Structure 1
Amino acid sequence: MSKTAKSVWNNCLLFIKDNIQPQAYKTWFEPIVAVKLTDNALSIQVPSKFFYEWLEEHYVKILKVALTKELGETAKLVYIIKMENTYGNKQPFTEKIPSSHRTAVKSQDVDIPLNNKSRELKNPFIIPGIRNVKIESQLNPNYSFENFLEGDSNRLARSAGLAVASKPGGTSFNPLLIFGHVGLGKTHLAHAIGVDIKDKYPEKTVLYISAEKFTQQYIEAVKKNNRNDFIHFYQIIDVLIIDDVQFLSGKSGTQDVFFHIFNHLHQNGKQVVLTSDKAPVDMQDIEQRLLSRFKWGLSAELHNPDFETRVSILKNKLYRDGVVMPDDIVDYIAKNIKSNVRELEGAIISLIAQASFNKKEVTIDLARVIVEKFVKNTKREVSIDYIQKVVSDYFQMDIETLQSKTRKRHIVQARQLAMFFAKKFTKASLASIGSQIGKRDHATVLHACKTVDNLSSTDKQFRKYVEDITKKLSV
């Protein structure tokens, strides 16, 4: 029976599968397609140069043994690189490369070399000059689920994180977007998910990266004409965690490349975890096609921790540091620092340091001094309720009138100003602002903000309203 490219390659795969790790086989050999068999030369199709170089770097010997078993000592191998143009051109990009060449050449038959001298792989995490092909996860093992304390403020996000860590890519939480204000634990939770996955599934490739670093790597790839290699590197990740995804705002090239990476990972059952300081509806200058994908999975918000959670966080921190502190002091700090976890832990560290360096006992008076410094250095956050009261008083109306459905011009303008200042002075989402000011949706709030901006630049009287209320809220 005559041999075909497919039958030869299938036999090679059986041999290779028995001799390498299952995950490596799935990643590097399942995507290969046997194309043709001519004059004892097998042509195989691979998805990118990066892919081809990785095979040559790591699997050249096993490929030669497998092919020799099938076709004898005169066996030859030709790579055909074929990948879809990522700009949407339906015509595939194809070039044929024999196994001992590194540049595009006409199709020709060349023996697989036993001693391969390949150039460095296009791994954006490799330091130039250092041969380190392993993809490090960039995770911080100190950020774990054990020290991410659960409370009402974070229960949904933490539970979703645990579900993703138990079955990455296998839940409906893909992508998982964790959002909330600064210092509430988004980065901690993102790392905890990655750390737990690495512990449960050591064979999976997990990568944590900030959106800022991702952008820098992409710019470098474009400069060096390695865009497709950059894309393929990220497409082989099993669990991709991108921190502060709002940083992609306004960066159309980076958004475009991330769009293609995201699609590939999602379609192949890989897990994507994102963090942001804003909900998807509040992200500006992010392409609509990306925003729609962010909403495919679950968006879980981290809120400011309540009193009980703040006490638990402080006690956990003291326990981990081996410090004993009276409950009344812990309660005092928890009652007075409400904004975020980072400031809460910063206050307790400062208190311990002051007591230790100055050889003072930890007292409520010392705690008061530390807390006053933290509260003074923290910009007071104006509440939405307070803004509505200031605006209502200014226009001599009650809050119920401000929130009412009436379309009278002066009341509509007052309501729009309240929404405008809520967006300016608070960290609340547009949806949250709308819901608190007359049960409106986020689109109404967005329209109100644009209207205030327009009227401020065209109407002298309206500009005075804005200036007066700004002074009252800035006191």
Structure 2
Amino acid sequence: MKHRCNDIWDRCLQIIADNVPAGSFKTWFVPIRPVKIENNIITVEVPSHFFYEYIEENYIDLLKKVLRREIGEHAKLEYVIVVNKSSKNGKVNLPSSVKPNTQNRPVAKPNSIKDKVHNPFVIPGIKKITVDSNLQKKHSFDNFIVGDCNRVASEAGHAIAQKPGETPFNPLFIYSKSGLGKTHVSQAIGIEAKKCYPEKTILYLSANKFKTQYTESIRKNTLNDFIHFYQMIDLLIIDDIHELTTEKTQNVFFHIFNHLHQSNKQLILTSDRPPIELEGIEERLLSRFKWGLSVELKTPDFQTRKAIFTAKAKQEGIEIAEEIIDYVCKHVKTSIRELEGILVSMVAHATINNQDVNLTLAESIVKQVVKNPQREVNVPYIKKKVSSFFNLTEENLVAKTRRREIVQARQIAMYFAREITKSSLTSIGAQIGNKNHATVLHACQTVENLMETDKKFRYLIEELRTILEE
């Protein structure tokens, strides 16, 4: 029975691996263990309640389809949650009105170190070292807007904050283009961990700051102090790790990394590219960067950009009309930092000139930031681009035919029209083949189902999305 259970689960994993990103598969499916199968019910073991909730929320539809394929129409899934009794559990929740305390307590020097340890942040060294965490309270999870672009990083971050050093996400390697929230989410993890574990020593710094401290320790002959200091940190966050390019600095960081990891201390690293694309970094370090979870922060979609901009405006204590927010978020697509900059400029101009934040002002500022404001994507534009992509004429796209390639292209056009534009289902159907709203709904569902189960089709959709948003 156990052998059959393992075989079935292995076949399920083969299908799942082809339908989810490699990083997500390693994070959310490799740790699952099959337990038994009885009466079409397969029981699996997951490492935590958080793990179970994440699977249920994000992958249950895929799991249902895979299990029905391998077991039968009446297949069911049950979970056994393994609780690590030796670890601390429970979450320390603070009222939203209470600001998180990011200050570290003095660090007790290990007994094995006989001499004084010099703090590279504060010199001279003393027996107990007060370490400034360098965490900014504004970068908490309370101010972090979650969307599809950053959901995995956010969920993994919460898990780490609950049990730093005890999850499979060690190190957590966060990468993205500039301005998409790497610093925010990495600091948010540190702030949340400090809430849960006030006694832990947490430190955030840039790779450049680390290099400067290392150089200074060589000059002053305090290298051992430098190493010992970092070996006492419980949660170390290093921003822009791709800038750690000198061989000697990498060598000392290698030893610090090993000590912390072997001591079940948490490491969080950020970069502008994934580990596999880092240049000038030693292979032995690169291999360690891949030990835990590597997660990309992607460009936020329109709804997420809108939620971010609205939240930032609320923090500034100003109200902005929805049409203005829509305009800004439709034209500024590549950077959250640009959105924040535009908001600051709008508030400054309105205050200095004693005027309201209006659409004219928004248009003027956006033109200064975005060289070529993007055209508004509407249904005719989508029809034109989808037709061109599939080497069809627009007349072919809306023609009354059952040819599979045309039907699928039309369904894809309907899917994007519903996702990107504000047009109603009835309007979309009228413009794409004179169909009713039920046909549009069916088309969207068909496309979504294919994206879940067909890897090549999913890549095709993402390629088209990039073309439409150019």
TM-score, normalising length from structure 1?
A: 0.55
Which residue number in structure 2 is paired with residue 247 of structure 1? 243
What is residue 53 of structure 1 aligned with on the other side? 115
| Deviation per residue, 1:348-396 (Å, 9 max, x gap) | 12112111211222221111111111102999xxxxxxxxxxxxxxxxx
Tell me what 1:338 maps to: 333
Q: 1:228 to 1:357 in 2, by over 3 A?
A: same
Q: 1:319 to 1:136 in 2, by over 3 A?
A: same
Is residue 356 from structure 1 mapped to residue 356 from structure 2 by the alignment? no
Give deviations 1:74-110, integer Å, cap 9, x for gaps.
Answer: xxxxxxxxxxxxxxxxxxxxxxxxxxxxxxxxxxxxx
| Deviations 1:182-225 (CA, angstroms, capped at 9, x unpaired) | 00010111111111111110110111111000001111111222
Query: Equivalent residues in 2 for 1:204-243 (5 A)?
Result: 204-243=200-239
5 Å matches for 1:97-246? 121-127=117-123, 133-246=129-242
Distance 1:188 1:365 in 2: 31
Identity of aligned residues (%): 50
- What is the CA deviation profile of residues 395-418 of structure 1, one whole-angstrom value per residue up to 9, with x for unaligned ones? xxx99xxxxxxxxxxxxxxxxxxx
Q: Superposition RMSD on alpha carbons, in Å?
A: 3.4
Residue 275 of structure 1 aligns to a residue whose secondary structure is: strand
Gaps of 5+ in 1: 1-22, 33-45, 55-120, 380-397, 400-434, 440-475
| CA distance, structure 2, for counterparts of residue 26 and residue 150 of structure 1 | 34
Instruction: Report matched runs for 1:86-101 at 5 Å.
Output: none
2:109·2:127 contact (CA, 8 Å) conserved in 1? no
Cα distance in 2 for partners of 1:348, 1:335 equals: 14
Aligned match of 2:279: 284
Tell whether the 8 Å contact from 1:206 to 1:238 is kept in structure 2 after alignment.
yes
**Does the CA contact (< 8 Å) of 1:126 and 1:132 recur in 2?**
no
Which has the bigger relative contact order, CA under 8 A and spacing at least 6? 2
Q: 1:140 Cα shift?
A: 1.1
Quick one: which of 298, 302, 311 aligns to 1:316? Answer: 311
Distance of aligned partners of 1:216 and 1:324 in 2 relative to their CA distance in 1, 3 Å threshold: same
Matched residues, number: 283
Runs of 4+ in 1 over 2 A off after TM superposition: 23-29, 127-133, 376-379
2:364 aligns with 369
Match of 1:430 in 2: none
CA distance in 1, matches of 2:320, 2:264: 48
Bigger Rg, structure 1 or 2 = 1
Conserved 8 A contact 2:331-2:373: no
Shift of 1:132: 8.2
**Structure 1: how far apart are the matches of 2:370 and 2:318?**
24
Instruction: Using the TM superposition, give the Cα deviation of residue 53 of structure 1 relative to its aligned residue in structure 2, in angstroms.
Output: 2.8
Unaligned runs of 5+ in 2: 1-103, 375-389, 392-454, 460-470
| TM-score, normalised by the number of residues in structure 2 | 0.56
Q: Which residue of 2 aligns with 1:464?
A: none
Query: Per the alignment, do residues 53 and 310 of structure 1 end up closer, same or farther by CA in structure 2, a change over 3 Å counting?
Result: same
In structure 2, distance between residues paired with 1:145 and 1:151 = 13
User: Match of 2:134, as an amino acid?
Assistant: Q
Instruction: Give the conservation status (yes or no) of the 8 Å contact 1:162–1:193.
Output: yes
